[in-house]
């Protein structure tokens, strides 16, 4: 941790972004040497002018590396740098990877199979359900779902992945100890238990408009592909999609009503060549050519055979293929008594074969 405290200190210096920080550390061989270098040595680094060099030297008067380390410890979070072996492989490949990541939870090797789901904060009930549904399907297939913990589509995506028993990563536009929006505090804790909270923003930093475009490059950078569910023609979700294209990653879009403003962003992407998405199979097919789908829509992604199902349970699974439905309507569709339908749904939920949504609606994972 001796070297990491200097990474933390450098991240506080205004005017030293990701590219400059990496250049400085590589030039001097360690962040500690950067921190103690004089102006005359700092200006010998490509891209470091006199103003930036003076800013680094001046910043030392108000930034204490040891205090940065103590502040991080108090949050219960950890930090990794781009030099660490555990640094996410997908993220390391982008043009401007964050030199350091503050995180809670675990960043695993399995997170290389990640898909980001993004969209509008002011989403429709349809958009919220689609994000939840796709996230659950992807998580069931072993994909990590990445999003930004924002209201609307992001929140639904995280919840869908968790409901399916999968991993999810939330990329914050604030310090690791500042959860925004505040009503997602409990959700953030659950994410840290089943995935990770991640940010490049220093401890204690409040949400700021200038943080979010940079945050978006991490969302797309962690992922093999980005799915846009609902978004206006000018939105952060489309910025994330553009960043994904720049990073040579796949872009997917979910169609919506032609009369809805929230459909304009995805429809624009589809016109530009993004793959239209109706289910997780459309995403998986593009990311993993040759994958045998079979009955994957009804599997949980776990090893081993499927448990034997009764005829009533099979009828209910068939009845759910068309999308979310409440218990009463499902009972009519399947020709079963409501009490029997409820009993079967409870059994299937315990098996992980169905997911219960708010309002007593059910859907396939």
The pLDDT of residue 242 is above 60: yes
How far is CA 280 from its chain centroid? 16
The yes or no reply on domain 109-287 and CATH 3.65.10.10 is no
| DSSP letter, residue 346 | H
163 SS3 class = helix
The pLDDT of residue 169 is above 50: yes
- pLDDT (0 to 100) of residue 186: 96
What CA–CA distance (Å, rounded) separates 63 from 66? 9
**CATH code that applies to domain 1-69:** 1.10.150.20
Please write the tens of the pLDDT for every residue from 256-290.
Answer: 888 888 899 999 999 999 999 998 889 998 998 53
With CA atoms as reference, report the closest residue to 94 among 235, 252, 273, 216.
216
Locate the domains of the chain by residue range.
Answer: 1-69, 109-287, 311-363
How far is CA 218 from its chain centroid? 9
Confidence of residue 144 (pLDDT cuts 50, 70, 90): very high
Task: List helix spans (H) across the chain.
Answer: 4-11, 18-28, 31-36, 39-42, 50-59, 65-75, 89-92, 125-140, 153-163, 185-194, 211-221, 236-246, 264-271, 280-287, 311-319, 327-334, 338-351
- pLDDT (0 to 100) of residue 302: 35
Please write the tens of the pLDDT for every residue from 33-53.
Answer: 999 999 999 999 988 999 999
- pLDDT (0 to 100) of residue 345: 86
- pLDDT (0 to 100) of residue 303: 32
Q: Which residues pair with 157 in a beta bridge?
A: none
199 SS3 class = strand
Please write the tens of the pLDDT for every residue from 171-209.
Answer: 999 999 999 999 999 999 999 999 999 999 999 999 887
| Largest Cα span, the chain | 82
High-pLDDT (> 70) share of the chain, %: 93
Average pLDDT over residues 22-33: 92
With CA atoms as reference, report the closest residue to 296 among 137, 171, 157, 75.
137
- pLDDT (0 to 100) of residue 296: 39
Average pLDDT score over the chain:
87
Q: Which residues pair with 357 in a beta bridge?
A: 361
The pLDDT of residue 293 is above 90: no
* Cβ–Cβ < 8 Å for 248, 221: no
The pLDDT of residue 292 is above 50: no
Please write the tens of the pLDDT for every residue from 54-69.
Answer: 999 999 999 999 999 9
CATH architecture of 311-363: Orthogonal Bundle (1.10)
* Cβ–Cβ < 8 Å for 133, 105: no
- pLDDT (0 to 100) of residue 308: 53
């Amino acid at each position: 941790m001796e070297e990491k405290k200097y990474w933390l200190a450098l991240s506080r210096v205004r005017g030293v972004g990701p590219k400059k920080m990496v250049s400085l550390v590589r030039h001097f061989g360690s962040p500690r040497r950067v921190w103690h270098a004089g102006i005359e040595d700092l200006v010998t680094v490509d891209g470091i002018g006199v103003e930036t060099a003076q800013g680094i030297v001046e910043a030392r008067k108000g930034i204490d590396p040891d205090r940065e380390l103590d502040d991080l410890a108090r949050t219960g979070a950890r930090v990794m740098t781009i030099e660490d072996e555990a640094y996410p492989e997908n993220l390391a490949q982008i043009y401007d990877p964050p030199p350091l990541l503050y995180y809670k939870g675990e960043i695993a090797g399995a997170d290389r199979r990640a898909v980001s789901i993004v969209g509008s904060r002011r989403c429709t009930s349809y958009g919220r359900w689609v994000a939840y549904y796709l996230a659950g399907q992807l998580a069931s297939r072993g994909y990590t779902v990445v999003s930004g913990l924002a209201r609307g589509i992001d929140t639904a995506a995280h919840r869908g992945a968790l409901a399916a028993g999968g991993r999810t990563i939330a990329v914050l536009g604030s310090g690791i100890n500042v959860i925004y929006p505040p009503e997602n505090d409990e959700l953030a804790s659950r994410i840290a238990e089943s995935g990770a909270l991640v940010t490049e923003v220093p401890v204690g930093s409040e949400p700021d408009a200038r943080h979010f475009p940079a945050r978006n490059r991490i969302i797309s950078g962690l992922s093999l592909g980005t799915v846009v569910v609902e978004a206006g023609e000018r939105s952060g979700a489309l910025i994330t999609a553009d960043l994904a294209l720049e990073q040579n990653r796949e872009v997917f879009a979910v169609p919506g009503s032609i009369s809805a403003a929230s459909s304009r962003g995805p429809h624009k992407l589809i016109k530009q060549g993004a793959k239209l998405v109706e289910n997780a199979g459309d995403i998986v097919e593009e990311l993993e050519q040759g994958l045998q789908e079979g009955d994957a829509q009804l599997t949980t992604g776990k090893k081993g055979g499927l448990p034997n199902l009764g005829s009533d349970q099979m009828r209910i699974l068939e009845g759910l293929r068309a999308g979310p439905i409440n218990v009463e309507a499902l009972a009519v569709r399947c020709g079963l008594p409501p009490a029997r339908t409820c009993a079967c749904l409870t059994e299937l939920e315990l098996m992980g074969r169905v997911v219960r949504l708010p309002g007593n609606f059910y859907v396939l994972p």
